[in-house]
Amino acid sequence: MPLIGYFAGTLFAVRINKFDHWIAFALLAFVGGRMIHESFSKEEEKVNENPFRFVVMVMLAIATSIDSLVVGITFAFFKPNIYLTITIIGLITFCIAVLGVKAGNVFGRRYKSKAELIGGAMLVILGVKILLEHLF
């Protein structure tokens, strides 16, 4: 998906170069804001629900792919070596996913809301950083 996003982004990168930092800021602020909001949510998860059900896994895969597509679009503005970049993304994502499943089993629900809060805040901060770098 980052590769598809990269090629799609190169088609219109020249047209939106003047306000790409605002797009990056808006996307990161939106995703980060949702994570922060969800970290305060008091929804109780179903205890007996299997998180590895096929439907759940497909929905997570689609959500992850959409995020990766957006990341690929941003690569069009930075012009990296795209094939090396997507290889590194794939390897790191695989390793982190394996570690995340293991850590999730250990820490479970104890730190869920705190992790969402910190992750959301990091995304918002990254969006502000990108915006400030381009404005000043």
Does the pLDDT value for residue 87 go beyond 90?
Answer: yes
What pLDDT digit, counting tens, does each position of 41-82 carry?
Answer: 766 554 555 656 787 677 766 666 777 777 888 888 888 999
- Report pLDDT for 60: 62
CA distances from 6 to 65, 74, 98 (A): 13, 7, 26
- On average, the pLDDT of the chain sits at 80
| Average pLDDT of span 97-124 | 80
- Report pLDDT for 26: 85
| H helices present in the chain, as ranges | 2-16, 20-39, 54-78, 82-107, 112-135
